Amino acid sequence: MTQRPVILSGIQPSGRLTIGHYTGALRNWVALQQSHQCYFMVADLHAITVRQDPAELRQRTLETVALFLACGIDPTQSVLFVQSHVPEHTQLAWVLSCWTSMGECSRMTQFKEKSAQHRHLVNVGLFAYPILMAADILLYQADLVPVGADQKQHLELTRNLAERFNHHYGPTFRVPEPYIPPVGAKIMSLQDPTKKMSKSDPNENAILFLTDPPDAIRRKIRRAITDSGREVRYDEQQRPGLSNLMVLYHIATGKSIPEIEREFEGAGYADLKAALTEALIEFLRPIREEYERLQNATDYLMSILAQGAEKARTRAHQTLQLVYERIGLLLAPWESVSTPTANTHHADL
């Protein structure tokens, strides 16, 4: 049987998911899940790098799983799990942290931004966040990592760590490629189109949630900031607000940007907003309805997570054992001889 290339990606349960998560991540996960062996996780350990309410975090973790499914992730094809259910993530992160320089972590844009936002607690976890992300990816020997544009720098660090380790100890990790979509890799805030749409933005009008009902969609698109100008013409530099709405229209209708420009020739921003509102309502309706159906099916969600964690652990454990062996840790007496030896190449995993 030929093996499909492997994908690993994740989303933090640190808030309600937005249309940005859909375009930057989930939409591409769904598109790639047949041609790849996919591992999709809820990155709960990443979420605790900023303060979370415990009950809310638990709730959001399940909600995030329900949204993965509502967006079209098929649990019979893809492995769906929660990061903290697979302890190998933190175990590998420790090893990798011994191979990462302080300088590398301090150069990460996300760290600089988040430490400015959370000045009262710039914790070590926030600093080491990209190392845990590298561990997430390398544990599964992933070939491809579908993410939004803001994660590119973290992917570069992951590749550097894999190459550094392989160079020192011999082939151990596959060096993953990022998959950043050509359109929609960075959906901007509806209130400030120079900023990324973020689920943690305190201004709800800036965010389009995947679960927003029609009246919220109407209100948010009506209030969305556009630029001065009249023609509907795509120009990210000069007209970031309008261009962002055009990308959303592309996502909701499947029409290309030139097709959209033709559709609104001679029309104005208000016409685009009206068409976009209707398109988004219809586009998000099935996702919201499926989410509402799944939201309280806790037993079903837990059973998917149980199966997912088991499959994920099998693969993660093999890589971790290989790493432990490579670096010279004594094989634990309970580990079977069938775990990889130092001669095992990562491609065999």
Query: Does 47 engage in binding with ligand LTN (CB under 6 A)?
Result: no
Site for ligand ATP in 124-163 (CB under 6 A): 147-148, 150-151
Is 114 catalytic? The answer is yes
Choice between 11 and 66, CB closer to ligand ATP: 11
Distance of closest approach, residue 177 Cβ to ligand LTN, in angstroms:
12
Helix (H) or strand (E) segment spanning residue 326: helix 298-327
Nearest to 288 by CA among 218, 203, 211, 187: 211
Tokens at 301, concatenated: 């969600």
Q: Is residue 15 part of the contact set for ligand ATP (CB under 6 A)?
A: yes
Terminal-to-terminal C-alpha distance of the chain: 14
Counting every residue, how long is the chain? 349
Q: In angstroms, what is the minimal distance from the CB of 117 to ligand ATP?
A: 9
Of the residues 112, 199, 273, 311, which is catalytic?
199
Shortest distance, CB of residue 87 to ligand LTN, whole angstroms?
15
Count of residues in contact with ligand LTN, rule CB under 6 A:
13
Q: Is residue 68 within 8 Å of residue 287, measured between CB atoms?
A: no
* Euclidean distance between CA atoms 161 and 164, whole angstroms: 5
Beta pairing partners, 8:
39
Q: Which does 28 bind (CB under 5 to 8 A by kind): ligand LTN, ligand ATP, none?
A: none
Please report how close the Cβ of residue 45 comes to ligand LTN at its closest, in angstroms: 9
Q: Which of 64, 141, 151, 189 binds ligand LTN (CB under 6 A)?
A: 151
Give the integer Cα–Cα distance in Å for 287 and 94: 38
CA distance 6 to 144: 6
Q: Does 13 bind ligand LTN (CB under 6 A)?
A: no
Of 186-215, which residues contact ligand ATP (CB under 6 A)? 186-187, 196-200
Least Cβ distance, residue 111 to ligand ATP (angstroms): 12
Residues 154-193, one symbol each (x = binds ligand LTN by CB under 6 A, - = not), give x---------------------------------------
Q: Which of 27, 46, 60, 326 binds ligand LTN (CB under 6 A)?
A: 46
Radius of gyration of the chain (CA): 21
Catalytic site residue 196?
A: yes
* Catalytic member of 152, 186, 196, 273: 196
Rounded least distance, CB 279 to ligand LTN, Å:
26
Q: Is residue 75 part of the contact set for ligand ATP (CB under 6 A)?
A: no
Beta partners for residue 9, in sequence order = 40
Alpha carbon distance 214, 234 (integer Å): 26
Residues 57-68: b if buried by 16+ CB within 10 A, e if exposed: beebbbbbbbbb
Which structure tokens are listed for 11?
């989303």
CB atoms within 10 A of CB 298: 11
**CA distances (Å), origin 282, targets 7, 176, 196, 218:** 30, 36, 24, 12
Does residue 78 interact with ligand ATP by CB under 6 A?
A: no
Among residues 275, 203, 193, which one has the least CA distance to residue 236?
Answer: 193
103 class by beta-carbon count within 10 Å (0-12 exposed, 13-18 middle, 19+ buried): exposed
- Quick one: what does residue 145 bind among ligand LTN, ligand ATP, none, with the CB cut-off 5 to 8 Å set by partner type? ligand LTN
> Hey, which residues between 89 and 148 contact ligand LTN (CB under 6 A)?
133, 136-137, 145, 147
Minimal distance, residue 165 CB to ligand ATP, in Å: 24
Using the minimum distance from each CB to ligand ATP, give the nearer residue, 32 or 323.
32
Residues known to be catalytic: 114, 196, 199
User: Which residues in this chain contact ligand ATP in the complex, by CB under 6 A?
Assistant: 11-12, 14-15, 20-21, 23-25, 43, 147-148, 150-151, 185-187, 196-200
User: Which residues in this chain contact ligand LTN in the complex, by CB under 6 A?
Assistant: 8-10, 12, 43, 46, 133, 136-137, 145, 147, 151, 154
